[in-house]
Amino acid sequence: MPDETQRQAERERPPRIAILGAGPAGLAAGYFLKRHGYKDVMIFEKLGRVGGLCKSVTDGYMAFDLGGTYITPAYHETLKIARVVRAERYRGKSYEMVKVVKDDQGKKSLKRDDAWGYARRGLGDQAEPIGIVQLVRGVFAFWWQRRKVRRYVDTPSFERVHERKDLCVSFGAWLDSHDIGFMRRLFEIPVTMMGYGFLDEVAAPYVLKYMAPGTYWSMFLRGLPFVGLFWAWPQRFREGFQRMWERVSWGLNVRMDVRVLGVRRQERRELPIELDVETADHLYPHEEGRTRRTLCFDKLILACPLTREVLEQFIALRDDEAVLFERIHAHTYVQNTLHAVTVDSTTGEEKPFKLFAPVVPVFPFDETTFGKPWVVVQVWGNQSRLLQFYSRIDPEGKDARSIRTDVEAASHELLHLLKDSDTCATPVEAGSIPGHERLQRWSTYDRWPYFSHVSAEDMAGGFFSRLDAIQSIQNTYYTGGAATFEMVEAVVRHAKYIAEKVHRDLRKEAFPKPRRVPFGMLHPPYAEAERLVE
């Protein structure tokens, strides 16, 4: 046994922390640990890029967000980080809606609608439209009811939510219980359309966290005339959300293209976490092929998907972990893009296919639209040919190839409906002949497990308080969408909470006190080194 002096000497080294996953959760955890002054933090990412579900591509000099997109005034922590890394923003454009209608012969066409018109339509076929006064009353009633429960939903995790059984129900049931069930259609737009599920499916606390005042009021205000003159929200990152995370990663110790083969959590006091990793040899050009090595750490933060299926590939879970993580489920969401052009049949000249609005939600939002796109996006209008489609999939009994074939066929069909509908696509340019549009080529296809979540019953059963209770056991911490809500700001706030917890735990273990890094010095990462050179 080492004596006390030896122990003390060992503790003079700074602590070593490993983070698995370089999505927003892992990068934010690394960022906040860096702020606390920890320098020996390594982030391991299995892909060759950072950002996770924040994925951006550049096409024709313009950036497109394929995953995480919008930020609102409620994104306090994300905006602070964005300012430090100098990521520019711009105002996201508003959208208009279309619905698919069938005539007597069953021929489909699209009819234009607007978000407020959709929201005001009564529930059920025979229902009367909702009056403006009633709708406004509903908007304020929701805000008031949310305010009353904010201390249960505005925390980084939902650790106390089980104390309010009335909250642990589906969001649809929660609306009904407050006599604002008539607001359902309005919430289908940010909730169902954005991939979080049907209102009778998603647990109320998730939507209540999502609808933080900055987001909620942005949602309503954007639809009102002239509001855009003084309220430029929601916004997007000019170079894309992934690039904002790339900027964060430049100041952190990120290893990409890494396969984590195994994690062992030992009982010993010194460097108890052992990580077997396989790295690409381009990091170590003197070695051939992929290189395997074992690295040791004091703390481990899991910021990759927290499902039992993913974790058991490399870590032997304890029973309490396994029981929790098997409760987490995700939806299958597809984002695919294609280049669409109109071709003038006389001159052969190609022009971009032009939608009438940058974002076009297509409804009904119900099971009949599973596997078919319910949003089409054309961010840069005339300047770009790229169209983006979002579809929720029911993967039951389908393999990856058939899912892709179905989604591409449905996107194709929707494009033709848009093209044939004079109300929906801006008429093709003068001189060109309608009907000669053709798809030029598919550009991207991503199938993601999206919205890692638990059921309302699991929330009532104390899922989040149990998750909170195991944070730090065996020097392991858990963060990411599943630990809070699948939205960047919620994920960043949770990662900050975990970084602070790790910091507190390390202080208790008598590691040397790190020197806190001032905010402005975080980026560019060379600021400190430059000063030393001078």
Ligand X SMILES: Cc1cc2nc3c(=O)[nH]c(=O)nc-3n(C[C@H](O)[C@H](O)[C@H](O)COP(=O)(O)OP(=O)(O)OC[C@H]3O[C@@H](n4cnc5c(N)ncnc54)[C@H](O)[C@@H]3O)c2cc1C
Chain contacts with ligand X (rule: CB under 6 A): 20-26, 44-47, 52-54, 67-70, 195, 260, 303-305, 310, 333, 335, 390, 448, 450, 480-481, 486-489, 491
- Within 312-385, strands assigned E span 329-343, 350-352, 359-363, 373-377
- Comparing CB distances to ligand X, the nearer of 170 and 337 is 337
Q: How many CB atoms lie within 10 A of CB 436?
A: 14
Q: How far is CA 74 from CA 68, 104, 484, in A?
A: 15, 46, 16
Contacts of 465 (CB under 8 A, 6+ apart): 159, 160, 162
- Comparing CB distances to ligand X, the nearer of 442 and 448 is 448
- Comparing CB distances to ligand X, the nearer of 31 and 390 is 390
DSSP one-letter code for 475: G
Question: Helix, strand, coil: what percent of the chain each, to 5?
Answer: 35, 25, 40
Closest distance to ligand X from the beta carbon of 310 (Å): 6
DSSP one-letter code for 5: H
Contacts of 336 (CB under 8 A, 6+ apart): 388, 389, 391, 407, 408, 411, 442, 444, 445, 446
Closest distance to ligand X from the beta carbon of 71 (Å): 7
> Contact 70/90 with Cβ under 8 angstroms?
no
Residue 269: name the closest of 296, 302, 301 by CA. 296
- Comparing CB distances to ligand X, the nearer of 78 and 342 is 78
- Comparing CB distances to ligand X, the nearer of 480 and 514 is 480
Q: Terminus-to-terminus CA distance in the chain, angstroms?
A: 46
Which residue's Cβ lies closest to ligand X? Answer: 23
The three-state secondary structure class of 438 is strand
Closest distance to ligand X from the beta carbon of 277 (Å): 9
The 3 state secondary structure assigned to 495-532 is HHHHHHHHHHHHHHCCCCCCCCCCHHHCCCCCHHHHHH
- Comparing CB distances to ligand X, the nearer of 58 and 313 is 313
Closest distance to ligand X from the beta carbon of 171 (Å): 18
Closest distance to ligand X from the beta carbon of 234 (Å): 8
- Comparing CB distances to ligand X, the nearer of 24 and 514 is 24
- Comparing CB distances to ligand X, the nearer of 49 and 351 is 49
- Comparing CB distances to ligand X, the nearer of 170 and 335 is 335
Closest distance to ligand X from the beta carbon of 182 (Å): 26
Closest distance to ligand X from the beta carbon of 265 (Å): 16
Residue 362: name the closest of 392, 403, 383 by CA. 392
Closest distance to ligand X from the beta carbon of 27 (Å): 8
Q: How far is CA 453 from CA 39, 196, 220, 245, 502, in A?
A: 32, 9, 26, 23, 24
Closest distance to ligand X from the beta carbon of 150 (Å): 19
- Chain Cα centroid distance, residue 230: 27
Closest distance to ligand X from the beta carbon of 528 (Å): 27
- Comparing CB distances to ligand X, the nearer of 120 and 453 is 453
* d(C-alpha 520, C-alpha 175), whole Å: 44
